[in-house]
Each structure stands twice: as structure tokens, then as C-alpha cells.
Structure 1
């Protein structure tokens, strides 16, 4: 390994020296496969070891494991999905087949199990030895303890044994392995298995192939290396589960052999055989209901409660005697439907498989039904340890989802002992949080602009933030609906205080309302214009720790830092570490004194860094994409200006890193809503899903300007004009290096709408524009459907992003005034559009309407329609194609590059699939 690392350094040196003496190259579309990303980073429980993948966007990557004490690094080709064993830190991972082997198999028509199989890798951190097992099907590690591995594999058929029986369908052999000692156990024909959190036991379901299928449920006790049978009988079993300690087991079983199976809930503990605790004859179930196989059982953290799903017993479908061509195919829309037909169809699978939560008390042997046909959703508190659960019902407001936002819901507190539900809050729209013990619910009342608290013991509510002279609502939110809150940090232990955010600071509030709210961060965030937010490093603990780790971002510089704050609130936040970077991915080792995070800027890829828990001695662990130094890159600077209406606006201006102020540069303007707080974000050169990337276009000697947009209600198009065009004019006046005759626009979705609007308002100011998925006609889009959800689009125009604030019939002129289609004759800018025929967010006929109008008016316009693609592109070849076409389009109009064939002539349908027209 040392030799490999030395070679890595040596190969980097010539490129580094070359970059210092040779002109940097421009990024091109053939570099996408070479740009790598780091993912799936994990710390071992003790914090000594770090694993991560470095892989290209397509193709074979590498798995690395690093000793953070010594710096030693080991690597494994094509390793992925790596996890450390909790107790002995062995690294267990999947080794995929080579990319070119999989590609060749797919070209040969192979699918599924016929593709080249994966391999299991087990790496010993003490010796550096790698052990592999071929034909991997799946593997599981115990979540919180233990030193055994469980994995299934595809057995190799013995071609010489003609009498060998085929394993039952859906089953594979299961091996349990202790990698230090080599001890192992094998079970044949396992259909499902699950570890106890502690890693002391595993529950497995075996299918016994016979004239009638039978099932055997086995518990493997790894600390004693023995197997015990908990159940054996005809039928099918599903969803094995153990409590955290591995002492209690549960599963579902059905003796039925038909298509419709009715399941019973089995439970086992101590030395007893598994027994039925809930079946379809149980009178505690609603009439006609049974245990549902659509939800896996689960134990509470202590194992005192067993949760499971119930549902009405499905009816057998009537015998079908008609041919397909004899059947009526119809969706009937009814004006009194609570949900529109498209929404019902989109939710059909969820409706058909809906389950309702129930609980079985282990000690009492009593069952309570928690979820009902009124209360569909039930959320457990404190991993099922609280005596309360939170029920949510929004069905009586379903009709209003077409035009109301945020959507209403009713909240219930459900007693886990009796199953009784108490209506706590009605018509709640904004954020709510229940204390882990279930004693309090806090919620934000947007109309009153205060946080409220509901006490379960008294059923009464009190305001928490009334009279405080700071806003707890998002002051920058500018949609027509009431703004939501800044959010909740969490609850102090015992639920004696809930910690809330204002724009900058943290406040500790007594949920009973008796004590005055405490400014926990002492106003330090507001004084310094730094937004402070809690970073939760222990997701298993539902309570806030005694000392909070905060992350803050400066509104002035967008620099970020970490701070320490005691819950006593006696001291202001103490800075631990900060810089002009964006930090993300913060993690802490479970038991060790080690933190892991990512740090990035416009020029620094988000590599991995570690330190102790006080951020002392930070060390960089990775250095991905060293080839970047060979290419021209981007720099960024903040820009501030006065909009046409006198308001102050911010934006970002990206330049090539070899920028020459004596040159003239073309400039692309990209926008969505507000992006100035992303100043320190890194942009990998990726094939576009829909937008331009500053790094790529700056590398190709463009400037990229990203202005913020501030909105009012009723004129989103003019608001975009006010902020964007004023910013462009400001830059042209102040920056002589911007070529005012070579300006371009680009945006996607809401940004695409704004591009379409701007080209109707700006004459020849912009030489080219590209709009992805634009709404061009708000009058026709208003009554459309968001096909991805089935919802009506009305709410979007009245109360959310489109910001019109009224119905179409109350103010049709407002809809027309903000629709680019009705100003199509004013367009003087060549316009490239993309609108895909499977777009579930913006109906693709919106792009067609604008294209058809511009075509009739003989305006230069093109429409890219990627088949079977949604709002943003997902298929790699389509993403590369869009990237090439966008650059060719902008290069032609902003750099005088020759027009490619597709831009000059188009591509006739008869040539579809035969030529791309790039030439």
C-alpha cells in the first residue's frame, strides 16, 4: 500500500508542475466520466477508521479505508456499500462486477440474476487481509453491536448432479460468519432474516420445499453458536424481527395457500415456542380486519411493546369472464370527490396497501388499535417508549389541497394503553413538534405569528413567543401564503424547555408558559448577523445535549463556522472553527473523540476532513479530482446593486480563474429565486440535468451572473425583470470587461418561466436565451394537473411559487399580464427550450404553446423534447446531449461559433436515432 500511495504522489507531481507552466485547458464534454465524487463515508465506532468511495459518474470506482491514527490507506477496486462491524471494526462491503462486464451482459440481453454477480469483501483492520465470497445476494450487519456477519449467496449449481433439487423460489443459503475466528453457520433456503440490534441473535425464515410449502422460523444465537426452532408448519411467513437484546422474536405467518393470505402475529420469548398473539378472530380488531403483511412488526426500544399493522381483509376479485376489448376503461371525475381522479390514481397503490398501526403490550398481553380509518398516520414517540403516540388526519381537508397551502391537518394524542385518541389541534398548517415523552405539542400559528404549546395533561394551549420583539417567521419568504417559522432545535431533557429559532438566535421556552422565554444565545447571532443552527450528532437521543454544537453562516460574507453553546445560556456562543467555506456532512464517531465533515468552496471539491470533537487539529483526509488544476476554473465574488424599484439586491458573479480585466467576455445570467447564500458551493462539471454550471462555462471563458430575486404578490414576471435586468445593467455600467452585446439567459422550471417572460420584455438586450420546462400560459396552466402527484395546479398560482395570489376568474388580467404567451410578438431573442414529454411538474404542452406561437411569428426558436424523461433529465446520454446543445447554442450566438446542423436545419423525424446533428 505504501508503494501505491507513493506512486499516486509521483503521478500528481508532473501534472501540478505542468499546470504552473502551461496554459490551463477548457473543460469539455468528454471529461464527465473522469470527474470523481466521494460518497458513502463512514467512521468506525471508535473513530479510528474511515471508509469512503471515490468513483466516477459512470464506471468503476474504488473503496478506501484509512487509519486516522497512522495515515495508512488501503483500497479495493469496485468496493461499495461499506460498513464497519460494531465491535471489532472489520470492514464489510460489496464488490460489484466490472462496469464493462455488466455493460456487455446487458448488450447480450441479460437481466436480473443473469447479470454478473457481486462479491462480498471482508477486510481485517488488524492484518490488512481481505477475504472474499463470490455470488453475493445480500448482507446485513447488526446495527449496534456484535461481531458476526450475515449474508446470502447464490449457490453454484453442480452440473454433474442431475438429481439436485432447485431451491424454493425467492430463497438463498444464509451464512453467518465470525471473521476473527472463522466460525460459521449455514442455513439453506432462507427467504428473510433480521439481526437483533445487539448482534447477539438473528431470526431467519426458511422455506421447506415439499408437496405443500412449509416454513421454519429459526433463531441463531451467535454468542452460544446454536440454532433453535421457534416454529414450523405449512404456509408462509414474513417479516422476522427481534427486540434489541435478541430475547424476543416476532413474525407473521399465514397457513393459506391461495392468492389472498390472512396473516397472524406470532410472538416468542425465553424457551417457549412461538405462539399466536393476534389473529383474524381477535375481537380487539375492528370487524373484518386482520394483521397486515404490508407492515413489518417492530419492538419498542425496551422491548415492552410490539407494534404491527392491521387492515381490512381484502376481498377476492370477482371472476373475470370478459375479454380485454369487452371491458369499459373509464376514470369518472366527480365534483364532490375529495381527491381528484389523477391524485387517486397516483395514490392507488398506497391506498390498496394502507395499514393501520396497532400495539401489543408484552407484559399485559393486551392489544390496542391505534390507527383507524379516520386517523391514517400514527407516529411513535421516543422509539415507542412514550405512553403516547401522535395521530394525524388530513382527510377532511383533502378537497382544499387543490387551492389551499400549506395543507391542513388535525392532530391527535393517542393513549397506547387504551388506544383512545384525543383531538388536540385542528386545522394545523405549519410545523409541529411533540416532546419525546408526549406531554406537549408545540406548533407555529402563522396567523398570530407566535409559537404555541398544548399540554396533554390539561388539554389547554398557551402562547410561547407572544410579546417578544423578534420575528419567529421567515422574514424573507415572499409567497402569498403566510410565512412559516424558522424551526425548532429540540427539547431539553424532561421536556422542561423547547428550543426555538428566530432568524439568528436560539430561544429556550417553557412549554407550560409559566416562565419567561430565555434568549439562549444572548442575541449574539443577531448582533453579528450570523444565523445559528443546532447540529444533531446523536440521532438516537431524542433530547438535546447539555452543550449544543451550532453551525453558523454570516449573512455578510457567507463564511461558516462551528460554535459551542451551553444550554444554561450564561455564555454567548464560543467559536470552535470557521472559514470562507461551506461545511456539510458532519458526523461523530459513536464512541470515539472524532468528527468527520466536508469542506468546500467554489474552487475546493468537498473533500473529507476530521478533527476531535472541539475541531482541534483538523486534517484533510482526501484530495479528489486533482486534475482540476489542469483546467481553467471559476472564481466568485458577491455583487450588490439597487433594483429599479429602489430595493437592495444581492447576487454572485463568477469569472474564469485566469480572468483578464482588459478583455471583453460574454456573460450568461442564470437564476431561480435566491442563490446568494451558495457563494461557497462547489460545482462539479457534470452533464446537465437542466441548468448551466458556473465552473464549466467559466472554464470556457464566459462570465456567469446569478442574481437574487425578491417578489411581491401579483407580478412575478415584473419582479424578475426588476431584479435580474437591473443587476445586468448595473454590471454593464460598472464592469467594462462585460460585452453587452453578448448576453445570454438560462433557467429551468420557475427559472424557465422567468426566462420566457424576460425575452418578452427586453427587446434585443439578450442575444440568446434557454428556458427549461417554462410555464408560458398561466391561464391554461392554472387548471392543469401536476402529473407527478395528481394535484391540481391551482394552489401553486394562488398561494405558492407563482405568486399570483388570486383565482383566474377573480383577476384574469393578472394571469394574462404574467403569461409570456400573450407577449410573444415582442420576443426578439433566439430562444432554445427543453420540455420533456413525461414532465410531472410542469405540463409539457406549456412549452408547446410558446413554441407554436413563436414559430407562427417566425421567431428563431427550438424545442428539445427528451422522450420518457421527466422535469429534469436522468438518463446519462440525454444529459450529455443537452449539455452539448446548450453550449453549441450559446457559443453560436455569444461567441460567433458556426451553427451546428440541428440549429440550422433541425432533425427530421425520419432521421431520429440516426443522427444528432452536432456537425
Structure 2
């Protein structure tokens, strides 16, 4: 009996264990290799397929193609350069080993071309152009033209450039055979081809009008050609050797057609006179105090007379026009291309601002009449918008949105009746007031849509009526329109003027951000009803809409769940999970995180993210690393991929896996006291966490990079609560940094100190004591915290001599300091071996002093 009882008990016990989920493992560095990050998805035009890339530093990148009904998943390792055809029947990509790949989405058939390089689909998706190198087998160099609908192909030898017409009727291409170069036009319906021009040294800038009937190209950078596809032999040519363009040649920027196809806009550039080879003496640099820009910036960006000048050509009227000039080189065309805004970003320099103020002039391109429209207008993203119709111009004057009607020549204050503040009133940088934004124009310019802190407003074009479309203020929920889903008008080279057309008679998709840091999407119906979709306790991003229907994909992620791809066929229906990245995450312990609320001085309800150690046990106290950089709590719902390959050596998961608490507190600032503000916020935040009685107060470290490196270097000179610290690429001497130049853009760093991150609000010479009080080097004697500093010796943003100053000062005072300099690296670490090395050194540094 005893034996039988023992067997029964053992069997029952085994069944009980077998029915349980396997115990989760603690992450180790070897496990990091299993995790991949996920790119923003793309969606096929019919919404039936989505594609994205999975990538990491130590595994091959893999392209995934997923059927949105969940029926199929394709994987293509070592691939990139993906695209769907517009008819949604084909998926193309490049593969590092196999060359060009083409997947038939209807049949699943896949084929490769080892010799294929770049490719293009025709607009209708029935044709594919594939450039071949001639490096494999006996295939020559040229263009392989696939007729995907008929399953046949045509090879065009020696093709160096090509362009499908938007109506998919024609192919314009440049071909070389022997010593002859020609521009050719291929009729894609009957296969007939004609030579448009030949025996030139070179051709370039093949261009089609929106209709696909007019084409354009350039010969030898000196002759313009315009043609009509229906009458291809009747080309119109125009020499650029006119007096208007003396000592100039065509610029490198791409030309573009007017909307009606009757004009071509192109860029001209002044010829650079080569330096005399016999002149062996170097030129002496001249740095004048009266110069608008300092000499290094002039070398990097040149000066207006050497900039790309926008011009136009009306081939029918044989009219050439230079729209830009050295006096007004910046040009923004209205969408109907009847007018141009002209200005010069050097008007009021030196201003020591990130974005300059300018005088904006309105030029009538037909009559040549010009007038000053707006004086001393602040530039930068979101200050000026041109309506998609081309009839109106709206701008933010620092308090209100003003509209100018070109036809009526009339200014209207659109928001004078508003009591809601339309600019970021709590912005803690001494910059010009920043508007929450104007998202675009309703159809036929009947009104505009603008933002306040939370909501979207519709305002009539006469400013007499307005309506709040959302109700976010009541719950402090922020509503915005994802602009990638809207039809926009893209002014050339001026993205800050980008405007969108909004149809309120159709549903609008909105993004939502809640006070708990979560985000999602909602649909605004024409009747004003709002319905949420994709709302989880998570971060939602990457929303894409199918071109031909109401289908969407988007990504969600949360602290405990890696990115998931969701699909929704109609915004009124429920969402469906179609892909879960990193399914192995369920096998590992994922440390808890929570949002900590604290106050510091005048700042109430500050937040910080507290990450728990993966091996957390309530009866123990753990070391903690505090990572600082302005406001960070918006990252609360980000999934943290474990990795040693980061550009600043910091990854919270790699530290929690090593048994650390990690804390990311928000920092707010008082103008003129950035360092002191950081001390107040960080010490208050740390004390709040210590009050939870889970962290050992004698084992707390501090970590920061760039501006966070500055804050770290300053804080350790003000308090001894940190037992070890790491400062990456820090500013350590406020005066020497203030009087330095960023070698990347040639800008003096004065603007950063006075108006941007350092928030001093005035020049050093107006308040030198404030600069000294907030400068780490001035408090170096007070540092008792072992400090690790790291930098790249090619850092052109914060010169690595800033770190050298700190190191030498600490060394002279016999303080504990170690300085790591990475040769060839800049402000961030880009070489993967160096990334891993830095991550390991940071862990070892904290292990030494906190464990």
C-alpha cells in the first residue's frame, strides 16, 4: 500500500508542476541577442499587407511582410529598401546577398535578380524599372523593364537615369552607347521609342509634369528642354547663356513643374572660380565684428550670392525669370505658383537665436510687383502657413494668428476673440513665443484649424466664428492630427511652411495623449462625435493609412510588452493584433516600473520613471542609478529593449538586469539658473525615492550625457548624495563654451547659452555672476564624487576640450576621475564596438562604487 501511495503522490505532484507556466529567467547579456527593434510600418495601398523591419546590432536585419488578415507572414533577412506597388500586387526590396527581390503578393512567388540595384514602380504598378550593374554573368549594364501585368520584359542597354511618367504611359531615359549619350522617350503602350536628343556630353534632371504629358531635361548644365509627350519631336530649348545668368550654371537641386505644366522651376548657382594653382600662399581669413555671420559659418553655408537661386522658365512664352536674388535668396511659392514669398535669413543677424527674424516680401510672378508683407517675422516650424489654394497666408505674430488674403489685400486677426492661450506659456526657455500650431486649412480656404494646449479649433477665415472640435481641456487630454494622413502642399525646401488641406465632411483620425503618459488614436466624425480606437495602457505610434481605403496599422508598446502591430479595417470596428515582436519576452523577468510624483521648490507634480531591478525582492535594499536629461517621463510607456549598443552607453534594462534601480526624473528650470534648477529637482526626486525605503541611500549614482552631462558635472559639485557619477560629453566651463563655435554648423554657441537649453536669458557680459554660479568648473573644489567622463575626440558640438578642462581640474585637485576618449567618435558613439565598450565601462564604474 505504501508503494502505491508513493507512486500516486509522485504522479499527482508531477502533473501539478507540468500544468504550471515555466519559471521566467533573469536576463543576461547573452540573452540581449534575441531582441530586435521594430521600424515604423508601411501599408499596401489596398490595406491587405504591411511591412516593417526588425533590427539589432548583433543580428541581421530582417524585413517582414504580414498579411493584415493574419493568414501569411514572409521574412527576408539582410534586406532593406522596401516598397509596395500602387496596385498592391507586388512587394520589392533589396537583399545584401541576392540583389533585388520581387514578391508576388497574390501567388507568393518570389524571384531575385543578383545584378539588380535601384528600382522604381510605375504609378499604376504594372511596370518595374530595375537598374543592372553588369557585374554578374554576361548581363550588360542598363535598365531591365518588367511588364508585370504581362509577365515579359525589355532590356535597355546603357541606361544611366530614367523616370516613369505619372500617368504610366511613357518612360523618359538617358542611355549611353559607345561615345554617344542620348535622351529617349519610350511609349509604354506600344513599345515604340524615339531619340529626343543625342551626342551631348551629358544630360540630367529628367522631369515630368503632374499630368504626365509634359517633360523636361537639361543638356550639359546649360540648355533646358521642354516637350510634350504627344508631340515629342517638337522640343523647345532654351540656352542658359543669357546675360541674366552670367557666370552661373544650373544648380544641383531638383527642378519641378508648375501645377498646370506650363512652367518649370529650376535652380541656378554661381560658378566658383578655381584658385590659381600657382598661388602657394594661403589666404588670410578675415573675421570682422560687423559680419552678419562668423567666418566658419560663412565657409560652411557660404553667402547669399553663392546660394541656389530659384528661377522659372515659361517655354511657350520663351520667358526666363530669376525669382531669387542675393538680396532675397529664400523663396516660398504659393501653391498656385502665382506669387512668391521672398526673404533673407541674414536680415537681422546676429540675433543669437536658433531661427532668425526676417522681413517677408510678396512678389507677383506675373507682373513683377513686390511689396513688404510682414516685418520682423519670427521663422521656424509652425509660424507661417500658405493655404493649399494659394490665396491666403497665415502667420503667428507672437500672440495671435493673422491671415492675409492675397486677392483682397486684407489682413484679418483670426483669433482676437480667443481667450484661450495659443502659445506655449509654460515653455521654460527664453525663446520667442512658440505657437501650439496651425495644422491646416479647410476646403476652399473657408477656415483654418489651430491647436491650443489640448484641443483642435476650427476658425472661419473671417475670424468671426470658431468652434472647439475636441474636449481635451477638461481631462487634460491632448488631441492632434497626424499630418502624414493629410493631403499637404510641400513648398520646395521650406518644410516650416508646409500646409495641409482638411476636409471636415470626412472623418479625421486624431492622436491622443493622456495625463498618465499613455497615447492612442481616435476618429472625429463629421457630426462631431469622437470614438477612440487603439487606446491601451501603452504608447501608440507609427500610424499608417491605406491609400485606397479605410484601413490602418499602428504600433503599440508598453513597459511589459514589446512593440505589437495592430490593424483596423474601419475606424468604427475593433482593432486586431497582427504581429507580436520578440515573443520570447515572455520567457524573461521584466522588472516593474512606476511613475513617481514629487515636488521641488516652485514646481508641483513633477514626474519620474522608477525602474525596479529585475531580481527585486521586497526585503532587500538596492543601489540606484539616476539618469538625467530635462523631461523624461513621457517615455514611461516605452518598451525598453535590452542592449549594450546605445549611442550614450545608457540602457535602463541593461542596468536593471544588473540589479540596479534606475530613476529618470523630470527637471524644470528657472531662467538664468539651469544648473541650480537641476540640483533642486534632482535632489528632491532622489529624496522622494529614498522615502520609499527600497533604495540604499549610500549607493546612489548619477548619469547624464550632453546636456545631462552638464547637469551631472554641476550637481556633483553641489551635493554629496551621489557615490559615483558618469558625465558624457559635458559642458563644464560656461564661459569657454559660450565663446566657442559649433564646427558642424559654424554657429557660435552663444545662442544655446542665452536662449536654448542653458536658458541663461542674457549674455555673459550682462550677468557674469549667473554664468559662474551655474558653471561646473567653478565648483570643482566641492566635488567628492568619483567621476567618470567620456567623450569622442571628433565632437564638433560640445568640443571635447570641455571634458579636458574638467579632467585637468580634478586631476590637479587629486580628485577621483577617469576620462575615456574615443578616437574618431563625435558627440555620440556610433561605432558598435565602442558602444559596447562604453556600456560595459559604465556598468563597471557603478559596480565598483555602488556594489
**TM-score over 0.5 (shorter chain):** yes
Give yes or no for contact 1:244–1:301 (8 Å, CA) kept in 2: yes
The answer to whether the 8 A contact 1:473-1:484 is kept is: yes
Residues 237 and 252 in structure 1, CA contact (< 8 A), matched pair in contact too: yes
SS at match of 1:470: coil
- Look up the match of 1:72: 72
Q: What's the secondary structure of 1:786's corresponding residue? A: coil
CA separation of 1:537 and 1:852: change in aligned 2, threshold 3 A: closer
Cα distance change, pair 632–475 in 1 and its aligned pair in 2 (3 A): farther
Aligned equivalent of 2:714: 757
Shift, 1:19, TM fit: 11
Within 1, Cα distance between the matches of 2:247 and 2:410? 35
Aligned pairs (5 A) from 1:3-14:
none
> How far apart in 1 are the matches of 2:483 and 2:438?
12
- Which SS does the other structure have where 1:234 is aligned? coil
- How far did residue 425 of structure 1 move? 1.2
- 1:423 is aligned, of 372, 380, 391, to 372
Residue 584 of structure 2: SS of its match in structure 1?
helix
Q: Deviation per CA, 1:299-319: give whole Å up to 9, x if none.
A: 23443432222234x255364
Q: Name the residue aligned to 1:903.
A: none
2:249 and 2:52 map into 1 onto residues whose CA distance is 41
1:266-310 C-alpha deviation (Å, 9 max, x unpaired): 444422326344322446xx2516551413322234434322222
Stretch of structure 1 that moved more, 809-818 or 474-483: 474-483
| Residue aligning to 2:531 | 574
Q: In the alignment, does 2:187 pair up with 1:221?
A: yes
Q: Map 1:696-735 to 2 at 5 A.
A: 696-733=654-691, 735=692
Return the alpha-carbon distance in structure 2 between the equivalents of residues 465 and 867 of structure 1.
54
Q: What is residue 882 of structure 1 aligned with on the other side?
A: 838
**Structure-2 separation of matches of 1:615 and 1:855:** 66
The 1:476–1:604 alpha-carbon spacing in structure 2 relative to 1, beyond 3 Å, is farther
2:847 counterpart of 1:891: yes
* CA deviations over 1:108-152 (Å, ceiling 9, x no partner): xxxxxxxxxx5111111222111221122321123x323111011
CA shift in 2, pair 1:207/1:646, >3 Å: closer
* Aligned equivalent of 2:127: 148
Q: Secondary structure at the match of 1:868?
A: coil
**2:114 aligns to what?**
134
1:375 equivalent in structure 2: 328
Correspondence for 2:513 = 553
Q: Distance in 2 between matches of 1:410 and 1:89?
A: 51
2:596 equivalent to 1:639: yes
The Cα shift of 1:88 comes to: 5.2
Aligned to 1:680: 637
Please name the residue that 2:240 is paired with: 280
Preserved contact between residue 649 and residue 842 of structure 2 (Cα < 8 Å): no
Residue 7 of structure 2: aligned partner = none
Paired position in structure 1 for 2:392: 440
Cα distance in 2 for partners of 1:750, 1:822 equals 17
- Map of 1:532 onto structure 2: 479
Q: Structure 1's 332 and 263: CA in aligned 2 closer, same or farther, altered over 3 A?
A: farther
**Structure-2 separation of matches of 1:480 and 1:655:** 36
Q: Distance in 2 between matches of 1:176 and 1:379?
A: 37
Q: Does the 8 Å CA contact 2:615/2:657 hold for their aligned counterparts?
A: no
Shift of 1:437: 2.1
Structure 1 residue 365: Cα displacement: 4.9
Equivalent position to 2:349, from 389, 394, 398: 398
SS in structure 1 opposite 2:289? coil
- Equivalents in 2 of 1:18, 1:702: separation in Å? 33
Structure 2 counterpart SS, 1:481: coil
- 5+ residue gaps, structure 2, are 1-16, 489-499
> Following TM superposition, by how much is the alpha carbon of 1:31 offset from its aligned partner in structure 2, in angstroms?
4.7
Alpha-carbon distance in 1 for matches of 2:68, 2:88: 16
SS of residue in 2 equivalent to 1:757: helix
Rate the CA distance shift 1:500–1:670 in 2: closer, same or farther, 3 A. Answer: same
Deviation at 1:200, TM superposition (A): 2.6
**Equivalent residue, structure 2, for 1:92:** 92
Q: CA deviation at 1:411?
A: 2.4
Summarize the Cα distance change of 1:725–1:184 in structure 2 as closer, same or farther, 3 Å threshold.
same
Q: How does 1:103-252 map to 2 (within 5 A)?
A: 119-142=99-122, 144-156=123-135, 172-210=141-179, 214-252=180-218
Deviation at 1:726, TM superposition (A): 0.6
TM-score w.r.t. structure 2 length?
0.91
Partner of 1:596: 553
Whether the aligned pair in 2 keeps the contact of 1:32 and 1:57 (CA below 8 Å) is: no
1:106 aligns with none
Provide the C-alpha distance between the structure 1 equivalents of 2:687 and 2:284, rounded to a whole number of angstroms. 55
How many pairs were matched up? 818
**Kept after mapping to 2: 8 A contact 1:368/1:419:** no
Residues 654 and 860 (structure 1), Cα distance of their counterparts in 2 relative to 1, 3 Å cut: same
Contact residue 631 and residue 699 of structure 1 kept, 8 A: no
The Cα of 1:158 is off from its aligned counterpart by: 7.6
Contact 2:46 2:88 in 1 (8 A): no
SS of 2:561's equivalent in the other structure is: coil
**Distance (Å, rounded) in 2 between the aligned partners of 1:615 and 1:376:** 49
| Range 771-780 or range 241-250, more displaced | 241-250
Match of 2:466 in 1: 517
Contact 2:114 2:136 in 1 (8 A): no
Q: Give RMSD over aligned pairs.
A: 2.6
Question: Is the CA contact 2:38–2:53 (under 8 Å) kept in the aligned structure 1?
Answer: yes
In structure 2, what is the Cα distance between the partners aligned to 1:632 and 1:782?
46
Measure how far apart 1:559 and its partner are: 2.5
**Alpha-carbon distance between aligned partners in 1 of 2:574 and 2:467, rounded to the nearest angstrom:** 34
CA apart distance, 1:859: 0.8
Residue in 1 aligned with 2:524?
565
CA gap of 1:808–1:536, structure 2 versus 1, over 3 A, is closer
SS at match of 2:711: helix
Distance 2:18 2:26 in 1: 14
Deviation by residue 1:385-417 (Cα, 9 ceiling, x = unmatched): 4433333421222332xx235421232333343
Query: Is contact 1:251-1:267 (8 Å) kept?
Result: no
> Does residue 458 of structure 2 align to residue 508 of structure 1?
yes
1:389–1:415 CA contact under 8 A, matched in 2: yes
Separation in structure 2 between the aligned mates of residue 421 and residue 437 of structure 1, nearest angstrom = 20
- The question of whether the paired residues in 2 share the 8 Å contact of 1:252 and 1:266 is answered with no
Output the CA distance in 2 between the equivalents of 1:414 and 1:186. 48
| CA distance in 1: counterparts of 2:570 and 2:315, whole angstroms | 40
1:425-504, aligned counterparts within 5 Å? 425-430=374-379, 431-446=383-398, 449-504=399-454
Partner Cα distance (2:200, 2:356) in 1: 47
